[in-house]
Structure 1
Amino acid sequence: MAERVRKRIHVTGTVQGVGFRPFVYRAAVGEGLAGHVRNLGDAGVEIEVEGDPASVARFAAALRGSAPPLAVIERLEEADLPPNGSDGFRIVPSRDGGTGSGTIPPDVATCVACLKDIADPGSRFHGYWATSCTDCGPRFTVIEGLPYDRPRTAFREFGMCPDCQRAYSDPLDRRYHAQTIACPICGPELRYIEGGRDEAADPLGRAQAALQAGKVVAIKGLGGTHLACDATREEVVAELRRRLGRPGQPFALMAREDQLTTFASPSDQEWALLRSPRRPIVVLPLRGGSLAPAVAPGLDTVGVMLPYTGLHHLLLGGLPFPLVMTSANYPGRPMLIADERILADLSRVADGFLLHNRRIVARCDDSVVRLTGGAPTFLRRSRGWVPEPIALDLGEEPLLALGGDLNVAFALYGHGKAYLSQHIGSTEYLDTLEFLRRALDHLLHLTSLPLPKKIACDLHPRFATTRLAFELGEAIPVQHHVAHVAGLAAEHGIEELVGIAADGYGYGTDGEAWGGEVIAWRGGEWERIGSLRPLPLPGGDRATLRPGRMAASYLLAAGLDPAEAGLSPVELDAVRLQIDRGVNCPSTTSAGRFLDAVAAWLGIVRERTYEGEPAMRLEAAARRGNVHPVPLAVRELAGRRILDTVHLFRTLSDLRSTGKSEADLAATAQAALARGLAELAIEAARERGIATVGLTGGVAVNDAIATTVRGEVEGAGLRLVTHRLVPPGDGGLAFGQLVHASYPR
C-alpha cells in the first residue's frame, strides 16, 4: 500500500460565509484526499486530509494561494496525525465554540456571476432582486451569530424550495452553503406602497414609474433605507431638500457606469474604488451640467456609488437617469430599518415606498472614500468594511473605545484585532446612543469577547460617550487630538511620530477648544509642542453654526473692520461684548474654525447648514484659484510654538485690497495654513530626532492641504504618513483611543 499521511489544518481569518468550505471540498476531492472540513464557530475552520504526501502538499499550497475572493486567511496551522485509512471527503456540521478568532465578512456587491443569472431569461434567478451566492451579497447585516449558518441569519425565516435546497447541498455548486441563497419561489419579496395602497404586483416597475414621474421613493436596502429621486431634475431635488430640511448638505448619487460618465470623469484609481466589491461612495470631481445644481450646492465634487445589490441593478437598469440615493435619516440619527418606522417617519418625505420582508439585523450605512494626496482616504468606514478587523497588537487584555460625540464609530480590541463598528452618528441624540449600545452588544456577541473592563473615551466630560464609559467600566479619558495621532502611529506600526492634528474641535487638557495641534508621540507619551494661535470663540458652539462670529474674532484681533464678517449690527455687538467680557467665549486653536472664518469673511458661507460646510465650500472655491506666497509668523506661547493665524488673516486682507479674487484668497489661505503647520512639525521632528511626520484630523481630508503638507515634509527629507485604514476625522477617533489606552498608566 502506498505511503499515506494525515494532517489537521486549522485556519483562522475571514473563512466563514465566503465559500471557504466548498472551496476546501473541491480542492480535496480534486486531489483524491479523504477527510473532512467544518466550521468551528468563532475559532475558524478545521480541516483534516489524508492521502499521499504529494497530494496533501499540493492541497495545502492551494489553501494558501487560491482561496475564494472574499476569504482572508490570517493564520494557517498544520499538525501531523496518524493515518486512519478513511475514505472520501466530507463537509461536516459546524461546531460552536472557539477563542474569538473567527471573522465575519462584510456585505459586498452582487458578483458578476449572479448578475448574469439575474439578466438571463433562462435562469431561475432571472429578474430576482435578492440573488446572491457564496462570493457576494449580505453578510454583516443579516448575521445574528457564529458559526455562520442559515439558522443564525435573517434568512432563517425563508425556507428553501427544492431547487435552492439542491444547490445549497451540492458542494460543486456556487451556492453550496450560501446562507443567503434565495429565489423568486422561496426568497424575500418586494412590495410597493403609495398613497396607503400596498401594491404586490410589479413593485419594482411601480417604483421606476414613480421616479420617472418626479416622485421621491424610499428604498429599503441591505443595512438601512435610502431616499431616491431623479438627480437631473432641479425641482425634484430641491423639493427633497425642502422636505428633509437639508438646504445645503450634498446628496450622494447612485448611477450606472454609462450614466456616471455624463457628469464625472473618474481616474483609473477612482474607477477601481467604484467597481470594487466593497462599492463605497466615491467623491469625484464634477464636470458638465447633467446633474441638478441642488445635488451639491456650492461644491465642485459629488459622492457617487455604483449599484451594489440586485435590487439596485434592476432599478437603475430601467431608468434613463442617475438617482439621488441619500440615507433616509436625519443627520446624526440612526438609519431606518423597520417597515413600520420607515412608513411612519418618512410619511411626509417619500411619495412611495419600495420595501422588502427581509429583516435587517444590523444597520450599516454606506462607506465614503475620496482620493486625498493621491491615495484613498475614508470619510466614513462602514458598509463593505465592517466588521472586518484591523490587525493590531495591543496586548492580551480586551479594550473598548467609544469615540467622541459626532460621527461616532466605536472600536473593540481582542485577540490581536481591532474591530471598528459601523457608522453610528451623533450620540447627543438618545436614539443614536441606544443604537450604539445595541451595535456594541451585537459586536461583542459576534466576536465572543466579554465587555472589556477598560473603556477609552474622549476627555470631554459632557459627551454622552464619556458618561457611558464611566457607566460601563473603568473609563480612560483620552485627549481628542492625542487619540488621532496615536491611531495614525499604530496604523503604520511606528512608536515615534510628530503628528499634525488639524481638526475642528477637541477638548484640551486646559479646558480650551484645541484643533490645530502639533503633537509629539513616543510610545504612549505625548507632548503638545505647537498649535495655531489661540483666539476667542464667541458664543462657543454657536460660532460653529455662525462662522461669521469666528471671522469677526479674527478681524477684531487683526485690527481690521469686523463688519467684513457679514454679521448683523446686533450680532456683531453681542460678539464684541462676549469677547470683551469673556462670557461664553472659550479660547480655540482650531484649524477648522480658521477655515470657517476665511469662508465667512469671503462671503462663501455665513451660516452653516451641515457639518463641515464652510471648509468644504472654501475648498471648492480654492480649486479655481492660484496660491500666492505669503510670509508666515511663528511665535512662542506657553512653552510651545504657535502659527500666528491673526497675522495670516491680516496678510490675506492686504492681498484682498490689491484685487486678488475670492478663489485666490481661498487657495492662499489653505496653502498658508498647511505650510505653517508643516513647518512647526518639521522643526519639532528635527529637534527630537524623529524621522516621521503624520497628518490627521478632519481637515486632513482636504486634498490641497494634504498635498501641501506632503510637499513640505518630504521636501525637508522626512517621511509623511496619513490614514489609510481608518478615517482621519472622528470616525477613526476610537481606534486611536484604543491605542493610547493600551499603554501602562
Structure 2
Amino acid sequence: MKIAKIWVQGIVQGVGFRPTVYRIANALNLRGNIRNLGNIVEIILFENEKGVNLFLDTLKKEKPPIAKINSIELQWIDENDNEYDIYKKSNDFKILESSADFSGASVIPPDLAICDSCLKEIRDPNNRRYNYPFTACTDCGPRFTVIGSIPYDRVNTTMEDFPLCDECEDEYTDPNDRRYHAEASCCSICGPSLSLYKSDGKELAISNPLKKAVNLLDKGKILAIKGIGGTHLVAKVTDERPVKNLRKRLNRFNQPFAVMSSNLETVKTFAEVSDVEAKSLLSKERPIVVLKKSKNYYFEDNVAPELHNIGVMLPYSPLHHLLFSYTDESAYIMTSANRPGEPMMIENKEILKNLYGIADYYLLHDRKIMNRCDDSVIRYRNNELSFIRRSRGYAPEPYDLLKLLNPEIINKNANILSLGPELDVTFCIQKQGLAYVSQHIGNTNKFKTYEFLQESIEHLMNITKTSNFDTIACDMHPQFFTTQLGKELSEQFNANLTSIQHHHAHGAVLSADNSLDELVYIAADGVGYGDDGTAWGGEIIYTDIKSYERLGSLMPQKMPGGDTSTKYPIRMLTSILKNSYEEEELKTLLMKNYKDYFQYGEMEIKSLLKQLNSGLNVGITTSTGRILDSIAAALNICGKRTYEGESAMKLESFAYGAKDDIDIPIEIKKMDNRPVLDTKLILKDIMDKIASGENKKNIAAAGQEAVGKGLAEIAIEVAEKKGISTIGATGGVFYNEAITLATKKHIEDANFKFVQHRNSCAGDGSISLGQSIISSSLSK
C-alpha cells in the first residue's frame, strides 16, 4: 500500500472543502485524513495510484460550488516512513484539527451572498432560523470581513465571541451537514443580534428592531444600517424629502446614490437590464451594477441627478432580504456611511458618534467587523464587463500571475508590497506568484483613510503569512502619501523601493488581464505623474511589462492653478481656447456664456487671462479627463466638479440618445517627435457649432467620438511602426461607453485586435496590481 500526500491550494478553506473530501473518500472506501494547514489543505491517502487518481478526478468534478482549486501537488511517501505510523492504524477517513505550521501562499475566500438554502430557511416559519438576519453556511456569508488570522477556523474569526448552542454545535461537528465548520454559522440563540437606536444613542426597547426600522424608513427617516463589511445610510427613493435631507446632511449635492432593490423583476420596472447585467446582479458576488434608467424610471430626480444611469444591487445578506420583507417599497438608497473621503464606519460607538446629525436612527448588530469592505461596482459597455471598484465579493482572492503571464516574466520568489496611487487606492501583496489585491481603500489624502491603509496592510500580511518584503513599489509622484509610506516601509523591511510610472502600471495590468507579453495601449484618465514632471493622461504607450515607451499623446495644454482647473473646468476651457480667439473676443464670450462658472466672475476672468500670459503657476497636462471637462463646460453641462469624474459622467449622459451624427474633424500633429491629437482644434470646432445653433446633444456625442477616434488614430500609427497587432485601452475614461465604442470601432476597422480590462479595473483601483507585476519583472 502506498501513501499519497496531496497539497491543494486555492479557495479551499471556509467553503466546505474538507467535508466534501470526507464524503468523497468514504464513498470510495479510502483510508486517510485531511486537515487545514496555515494556508493550504493537506490530504493523506493510504491507497494505490489508481485509487488516488480516481479520488482526484472525483474531487475536481464534485468540489464545493464556491471552492477554487489553483493547484494540486501530489507526493508519494515511503510506506515505511515512521512519521505516518499513527495514521496507518486508522481504518477510515478522518478530518483532523487544523495546523498553522505551513507558511506558503494562502487564499482567503471573499464574502458571498446568502445561498438559496439559507434563504429558504429564513423564510420558513417552521425553521429555527426563521427571520434570523445572520444565517450562513459553508456556501455563503461573511468570510474576509470576519477573519483575523489563518487557518480559517472559528477561533480565528470574530464569531469566536458567539459560542455555539447545542443544535448549532451538532451541525458544526457533523461532516455530513452543510454547516460543518461553517465558521459564520449561528442562530438566534447563540449568534449576533440587532438593536435599534435613536439619534441620541439611546436603544429602543422593542422585540423586532428590523421591522421597526423599515417602518421608520417608509415614514421618510434616514437610517444607518450596519451590515457584513460596513455600514450603509438608507433612505426611500420615492420621497423627495429624505433624499434632499441626506444630500444636505452629507454635503453631497450631486454625486449619485446607489440603490438596493428587492429582486430582479422589480429592478426591471425602473432600469434596463440585459442578460449579462442580470447574471451579475444575481451572482454570488452581488456587486453594484450600473444600469441605464428605463423610460419608466420613477425615482426622485435627486437619487442620481443628471445621469442616464444608476447603480443598482440586489440583497446579499439575510438582513437585506428581511428588510424588504417588511415593505412594499421597490428600492432604497444604500450608500456607504462615511464622512467625505473617509473609510466606511464599522464600529458601533463610531457610528453613533460620527453619524450624529446625519442618521435619524441606527440599526446595529454586535458582531465585530474585522475588515471593512465596500461594495464592488461594475458596468457593462456593449455587454463587456468593466470593474469600477473590485472589493466585496472579490477581494482578497488573488491573481495567479504565473498563469496570466509568461512565468519567465514573474519572480515567484519575490515578496512585494505595492501601494497604489493616491485616490481610489488599493494595495497589493505578491507572494509565490500570487497577487493579493486589497479591498477598496479610497482617498489616502484623508488621515483616517491613510490609517485604514496601514491597518489593512498589516492584516493582509497576517492572513497571507507574510513577514517581510523584498520590494516596496509606489507611484512616481513625490507628494503622494503612498509614496511617503513606501519610503518608510522600505526602510522598515530593508527592502528595495521601486517607483512605477502611473500609466505604465495601467498597461501592465491590461497586459496581464489579456495574457500579453507586449502591447500598444491608450491610457486615458484624469492625471498621472509623467517621467518629464508634467501631468499625463492621454497617452499612447508601448510596453513589454518590464519597460515602457511613450510614443504619442494628446496635445499638451496649459493648466492654470493646478487642481483649481480640475474643480472649475471653465479655467481649463479658457486655457485651451486662449490662442483661438483675440483676447477681448474671448473675454466677451466668457462673460456672456460662462460668467457664473467663475468663482469671482469678471475679476477672475481678467486675472486668469493675465496668468496664462505670464505662465505663473501654470502646469502642463495631456489629460483626457481635462478635455472632457472642457467639453462639458463649453456645453453648459457642468461648471463645477463636486465629485470625481462628474463632468465626464454628465457629458456622457447628456450625449446619450443623440439622434443626428455630426462630424468634428481631428488632426494629428507632430510634437517632440511624437504624434499628438490637436485638442485645441476639437474645442474650437465645438465652440463654433454652439455659436451656429447646432443641437447640443449632437455636439456632445460628436465631441466624445472625436476624442476616441483621435486617440485610436495615434495608437494605430504607433502599433504599425512597432509591428504590434493588438491595441488596448485603459484608464478611467474608458468607463465611458461612447468613447470606448468609438475607439474600438476605429481600431478594429483598421484590422487591429482591441482589448480591454476583463478582471481588473480600468481606473486606479488596479494600479497597485500593475506596480506589483512590473516590480516582479524587474526583480527577475
| TM-score, scaled relative to structure 2 | 0.93
Shift of 1:48: 1.8
Q: Distance in 1 between matches of 2:468 and 2:712?
A: 40
Deviations, residues 387-417 of structure 1 (Å, cap 9, x unaligned): 1000113202111111111111111111111
Asked if the contact 2:197–2:361 (Cα under 8 Å) also holds between the matched residues in 1, the reply is: yes
Pick from 19, 24, 29 the counterpart of residue 32 of structure 1.
29
Name 1:371's counterpart in structure 2.
380
Aligned equivalents of 2:778, 2:280: Cα separation in 1: 39
1:179 corresponds to 2:196? no
User: Structure 2: how far apart are the matches of 1:415 and 1:81?
Assistant: 25
Which residue in 1 is equivalent to 2:558?
Answer: 536
In the aligned structure 1, how far is the partner of 2:576 from the partner of 2:341?
30
Superposed displacement of residue 654, structure 1: 2.6
Partners of 1:105 and 1:183 in 2: how far apart?
Answer: 22
Query: In the alignment, which residue of structure 2 is the partner of 1:666?
Result: 700
Aligned partner of 2:345 in structure 1 is 336
- Of 463, 471, 496, 1:454 maps to 471
More off after superposition, 496-505 vs 570-579: 570-579
Q: How does 1:175-254 map to 2 (within 5 A)?
A: 175-196=179-200, 197-200=202-205, 201-254=207-260
- Bigger shift: 669-678 or 234-243? 234-243
Offset at residue 97 of structure 1 (A): 2.1
- The C-alpha deviation readout for 1:275-304, integer Å capped at 9, x for no partner, is 000000000000123211110000010001
Question: How many residues are aligned here?
Answer: 741
Which of 769, 772, 775 is the matching residue for 1:738? Answer: 772
Mapped to 2, the partners of 1:488 and 1:594 lie a distance apart of: 23
User: What percent of counterpart residues are identical?
Assistant: 44
What's the CA shift for 1:80? 3.2
Distance 1:711 1:502 in 2: 17
1:121 aligns with 2:118: no
1:182-224 Cα offsets, whole Å, 9 max, x none, are 0000000100001433025211011011101100000001111
Amino acid at match of 2:377: V
Q: Any idea what SS the aligned residue of 1:743 has?
A: helix
Structure 1 residue 157 displacement after superposition: 0.3
What value does the CA root-mean-square deviation take over the aligned residues? 1.5
Match of 1:402 among 397, 403, 419: 419
2:493 corresponds to which residue? none
Which of 35, 45, 49 matches 1:49?
Answer: 45
1:664-718 per-residue CA deviation (whole Å, 9 max, x = no partner) reads: 1110011000000001001100011011111001101111111111111111111
Counterpart pick for 2:642 among 609, 632, 640: 609
1:167 is aligned to 171
Q: Aligned AA for 1:199?
A: L
What is the alpha-carbon distance in structure 1 between the residues aligned to residue 694 and residue 377 of structure 2? Answer: 35
Q: Are 1:62 and 2:58 counterparts? A: yes
From 381, 387, 392, give the equivalent of 1:383: 392
What amino acid does structure 2 have at the position aligned with 1:695?
A
- Which range moves more in the overlay, 348-357 or 550-559? 550-559
Match of 1:358 in 2: 367
CA distance in 2 between partners of 1:330 and 1:556 (Å):
39
Instruction: Return the match for 2:760 from 726, 730, 734.
Output: 726
Q: CA deviation at 1:52?
A: 7.0
Displacement of 1:65 in angstroms is 1.5
Residue 269 of structure 1 pairs with residue 276 of structure 2: yes
Residue 697 (structure 1) aligns with: 731
8 Å contact kept, 1:401–1:737: yes
Partner Cα distance (2:442, 2:547) in 1: 30
> Counterpart amino acid of 2:683?
F
**Offset of residue 158 of structure 1:** 0.3
**Residue identity in the other structure for 1:429:** K
Contact 2:522-2:730 at 8 Å conserved across structures: yes
What secondary structure sits across from 1:503 in the alignment?
A: strand
Aligned residue identity for 2:288: I
Q: Is 1:217–1:351's contact at 8 Å kept on the other side of the alignment?
A: yes
Deviation at 1:51, TM superposition (A): 5.0
Judge conservation of contact 2:145–2:369 (CA < 8 Å) in 1.
yes
More deviation in 309-318 or 733-742?
733-742
SS in structure 1 at match of 2:519: strand
- CA distance in 1 between partners of 2:470 and 2:76 (Å): 39
Alpha-carbon distance, 1:17 to partner: 0.4
Q: Which amino acid aligns with 1:704?
A: A
Report whether the alignment pairs 1:107 with 2:111: yes
1:397 aligns to what SS in structure 2?
coil
Q: Distance in 2 between matches of 1:331 and 1:269?
A: 32
Shift of the 663–292 alpha-carbon distance from structure 1 to 2, 3 Å rule, reads same
Contact residue 276 and residue 383 of structure 2 kept, 8 A: no
Give the corresponding residue for 1:711: 745
Alpha-carbon distance between aligned partners in 2 of 1:311 and 1:77, rounded to the nearest angstrom: 40
Aligned residues of 1:517 and 1:531 also touching (Cα < 8 A): yes
Q: 1:469 aligns with which of 467, 476, 486?
A: 486
Give me the whole-angstrom Cα distance separating, in 2, the residues matched to 1:239 and 1:160.
42
Give 2:407's aligned residue: none
Q: CA deviation at 1:495?
A: 1.9
8 Å CA contact retained: 2:664, 2:703: no
Match of 2:85 in 1: none
Q: Give the match for residue 666 of structure 2.
A: 632
| 2:607 match | 574
Matched, 1:318 2:326: yes
Q: CA deviation at 1:475?
A: 2.2
Distance 2:381 2:429 in 1: 27
Alpha-carbon distance in structure 1 between the residues aligned to 2:122 and 2:109: 23
Which of 56, 70, 75 is 1:74 aligned to?
70
| More deviation, 598-607/27-36 | 27-36
| Partner residue in 1 for 2:82 | none
Match 1:483 to one of 483, 487, 505? 505
In 2, the alpha carbon distance for the partners of 1:169 and 1:403 equals 43
Q: Of 5, 19, 24, which residue of structure 2 is paired with 1:22? A: 19
Between 109-118 and 629-638, the greater mean CA deviation after superposition: 629-638
Q: Would you identify which runs of 4 or more consecutive aligned residues in structure 1 move more than 6 Å? A: none
Q: Which runs of 5+ in 1 are unaligned?
A: none
How far apart, in 2, do the equivalents of 1:85 and 1:475 lie?
53
2 CA distance for matches of 1:317 and 1:252?
20
Aligned AA for 1:70?
I
Alignment counterpart, residue 556 of structure 1, candidates 578, 593, 596: 578
Shift of 1:510: 1.7
Instruction: Report deviation, 1:523.
Output: 4.0
Following TM superposition, by how much is the alpha carbon of 1:164 offset from its aligned partner in structure 2, in angstroms? 0.3
SS in 2 for 1:699: helix
Closer, same or farther: CA 508–195 of 1 in aligned 2, 3 Å = closer
- Cα deviation, 1:341-386, whole Å, max 9, x if unaligned, reads 1000001000000000000000100000000242111110100000
2 CA distance for matches of 1:451 and 1:601?
A: 52
Q: Secondary structure at the match of 2:420?
A: coil
**Structure 1 residues 400 and 52 mapped into 2: Cα distance closer, same or farther (>3 Å)?**
closer
2:434 to 402, 405, 417: 417
Assess if the C-alpha contact under 8 Å between 1:497 and 1:690 holds in 2. yes
Structure 1 residue 283 and structure 2 residue 290: aligned? yes
1:680 aligns to what? 714
Measure, in 2, the Cα distance between the counterparts of 1:51 and 1:517. Answer: 59
Deviations 1:294-339 (A, max 9, x none): 1000001000100000000000121211100000012321110100
Q: Which moved more, 1:79-88 or 1:629-638?
A: 79-88
Report the 3-state secondary structure (helix = DSSP H, G, I; strand = E; otherwise coil) of the residue aligned with 1:382: coil
> What is the DSSP-based 3-state SS (H/G/I as helix, E as strand, rest coil) of the residue aligned with 1:198?
coil
Q: Aligned partners of 1:82 and 1:484: how far apart in 2?
A: 49
